[in-house]
Structure 1
Amino acid sequence: MGTPITRDQLLQLRLAHHFPGRDGQTPPGPPGPAGVVDRMLAVQAQDFGQALWAVGSRVRGSTRHEVLAVLDSAEVVRSAPVRGTLHFVRPADLRWMLGLTAERMIKSASRRLAELDLDQRTLHRARDVAGEALAGGMALSRDEFLETLDGSGISTSGQRGYHIIWYLAQTQLVCWGPSDGSQQALVLLDEWAPGNGAPPDRDEALRRFVLRYFTGHGPARLQDFTWWSKLTLADAKVGLAQARSELEEYVYDGASYWALPEVTEPDPLTEGGLLLAGYDEYILGYQDRAPSLPPEYASRIQLAKNGVFKPSLLLDGRAVGTWRRNPRDNTADTAPFAESAISGTEVFDGAIAAYARFLADKRTPEKPRKLNRTRDW
């Protein structure tokens, strides 16, 4: 049985995994924004602008330019390796993750694909069109890509275009690669980020999946991992059995939580309030969010009508309000929960200043490797 911990201790440990101190015993990896994605394994990224801040907020003094640079250098790509939802992920991890998740995701989407009249013949035709259109280093915006499909006789009306792109990403043909204005362009995965070596066998892939999730999200329950990854509980147990010797077990509220050993001190930047991005892994990365997001406040952040997760204020590991970008000066307007007993918002001044610095860097990212496009970069 593991070490009993209180809620405060759980949140302290969780902050240490999301925002590790400089002496944290994390596995070796790249520095900066790419290192954040490497440690987290995957960072939810369907809201592109918020996802950039989700990464940048975990790198002291970072800028939006620096996060965009790791996309333009193919150090990080965007695809849908978990829950069928867009995430930032390292190319070296994407293929083995999809090898474990894609088949189940495609099967779960089969009814919706049928409703959209996207049968295998149509999807295979779309794959051929995409492969030809993007071959040789082509990079197309979403609109350009959909126009290409329409021009080839494959209708993208309604939600068909979205689901075609999703399917092509699940089958490892395309990914979102270089930055393209406020979004990213579509590229061929094997051209933009070529594979490196043979994929791990299934047991090793399951071990990596479990270990890497708890590296960036611990302490968490195995049920949190299965919700996040959408792997079966049986597969999760196999992965945990393989990784257990590399993890520390804690017990909170009668349940086992798993984390990296010796990662106990968060970065000092967490001592003040934090501005979490919308869909931030600190909130969204768990099935049970009650320790950090009290149920009475959940509807303030998670909007049930459309599934949106609003940016949140974090203090001592707990969500205590929401915030939004002030378009006049690129700072943040905070809205603490009235019941949260925050005496003032000064505790968030440092985080607001960091966010303003993050957005203030207006330099144009360096051009990525040469791409043939219909327009100049």
Structure 2
Amino acid sequence: MFNIIVLEMTYQEISHHRLVSQKLYKTTKSLPQEIVHHFGAMQAQDYAMAKWAIGSRCDAFEAAIEEAINSAQIIRTHILRPTWHFVSADDIYWMLDLSGPQVKRIILSDTKKYGYDEKQFDKINSNIEKMLSGNNYLTRDEIMQGLNIKKVSGEYVLSPVLIMMYAELDGLVCNGKMKGKKNTYTLLEERVTKPPTKLTKEEGLAKLAKRYFESHGPATLLDFSWWSGFPPTTCKTAINALELQLSSIDIEGQTYWFGNQIFHENYLRESVHFLPAFDEILISYKTREASILLEDQSKAFTNNGIFKPVILENGKVIGTWKRTIKKDHAKIETQFFNETESSKKEILFEGIKAFENYLEMKIVIE
């Protein structure tokens, strides 16, 4: 049986409780790698904004987060759906074992028409391993040159993105140290020591589900399915395997799961957050009405999955923002969804101070 927590929680309050589970209240001090470990995986295709996703949940400067990534305490790689994610070094291998085979099948179904099957990718990976062996760090373009991948009419026959994604999902490569402003790749096993034992698929799924609901709850089975990339039937099995390790509550006929922590009323306080594009507060749920009104969703994200940086007041998205880094300051531009928010800008802009501290740079609001 699952724990059924008896408390007063309405559908409208879900977003407040997610601020707690997603560590946006900063109730405890955390290192950047501890934030990533808490989430299991944090979406990270927009590298600059993804670092702020970590920074908005701890008191680390951007430079400290960059150092955690460069020193391989945090790994940036393709995993889950697939897309770029930050993953803790402690979690990288069991998560690759769990999701890698599934996502590789997706890639192979796309590349079959180009004549690339598993054997072809194994040959490519063997050559990549030779190039990177000995703690070498190379950009994607440098690797493509080394592979002598041919172009037709100026275009690669097979996307370099897919080539490197397959190598990541195979557990061969991960992000290396930044080379100026360019991302590099290096061998994962030279970056992070491989553990002596493996989890079974069932153990891995249960661990992933527990991590998701503790860091994202209250959330539904379909939310977990969307975030993890596994089908609902598989996700249901994972939830059932957790037994007393999760709690649940039914709201308006829908079951929401979360960790065994009790949500206290004093958590529900006034708050303003300026959050990055693709932040877990929105992107990690199948439906997002708990955090943003249906009529405002097209202003915050597109149908093809492009998410803007958002402004949250008390857990609800009330506008979007963008930042432009200048020589000696960062310029912030805002767009609120209605005049009510515009009229209280001074109060709302208190929420940008955390970003100013993180950048260690003056913020100018326009």
- Call closer, same or farther: CA 1:291–1:337 in 2, change over 3 Å: same
Deviation at 1:148, TM superposition (A): 1.7
- How many percent identity over aligned positions? 27
Q: Give the Cα separation in 2 of the matches to 1:307 and 1:230.
A: 15
CA distance in 1, matches of 2:200, 2:117: 31
Structure 2 residue aligned with 1:209 = 208
Equivalent residue, structure 2, for 1:261: 260
Q: How far did 1:73 drift?
A: 1.6
Which residue of structure 2 lines up, in the alignment, with residue 310 of structure 1?
Answer: 308
- 3-state SS of paired residue (2:322): strand
SS at structure 2 position matched to 1:271: coil
Normalising by the residue count of structure 1, what TM-score does the alignment of the two structures yield? 0.86
Letter in structure 1 aligned against 2:217: G
1:16 lines up with 2:20 in the alignment: yes
- Superposed CA deviations along residues 50-84 of structure 1, whole A, max 9, x for unmatched, are 10011111113x21101111112211101122101
- Structure 2 contact 108–118 (Cα < 8 Å) conserved: no
Residue 321 (structure 1) aligned to one of 319, 322, 343 = 319
Equivalence for 1:134 = 132
Q: Does 1:239 align with 2:243?
A: no
Question: Equivalent residues in 2 for 1:28-177 (5 A)?
Answer: 31-60=30-59, 62-150=60-148, 157=156, 160-177=159-176
Structure 2 unaligned residues grouped into runs of 5+: none
Bigger relative contact order, structure 1 or 2, given CA contacts below 8 A and separation 6+?
A: 1
Secondary structure of the residue aligned to 1:330 is strand
Deviations 1:99-119 (A, max 9, x none): 222222222233321244433
What is residue 184 of structure 2 aligned with on the other side?
A: 185
**1:266–1:102 distance in 2 versus 1, CA, 3 Å:** farther
**Is the 1:63–1:361 Cα contact (8 Å) retained in structure 2?**
no
TM-fit CA distance, 1:340? 5.8
What do you get for the CA RMSD once the two structures are aligned?
2.6
Matched, 1:228 2:227: yes
* Range that drifts further, 351-360 or 201-210: 351-360
TM-score (norm 2): 0.88
Gaps of 5+ in 1: 25-29, 363-377
**Deviation for aligned residue 1:361:** 6.6
Residues 340, 229 of structure 1: CA spacing in aligned structure 2 closer, same or farther, 3 A cutoff? farther
Equivalent residues of 2:20, 2:267 under 8 A apart: no
- SS of residue paired to 2:237: helix
**CA contact 2:111–2:158 (8 Å) conserved in 1:** no
**Cα contact 2:330–2:361 (8 A) shared by 1:** no
Match of 1:355 in 2: 355
Q: Is the 8 A contact 1:275 1:351 kept in 2?
A: yes
- The one-letter code sitting in structure 1 at the alignment partner of 2:335 is A
For 2:286, the equivalent position in structure 1 comes to 287
Change (3 A) 1:267 1:158: farther
Indicate how the Cα distance of structure 1 residues 224 and 190 shifts in structure 2: closer, same or farther if over 3 A, else same: same
Q: Deviations over 1:209-247 (max 9, x none)?
A: 110001111110011001111112232122212223122
Does the C-alpha gap of structure 1 residues 318 and 55 become closer, same or farther in structure 2, counting only changes over 3 Å? same
Q: How many residues align?
A: 354
**8 Å Cα contact 1:15/1:270 also seen in 2:** no
- Of residues 5, 9, 17, the one that matches 2:9 is 5
Q: 1-side partners of 2:126 and 2:275: how far apart?
A: 40
Give the corresponding residue for 2:271.
272
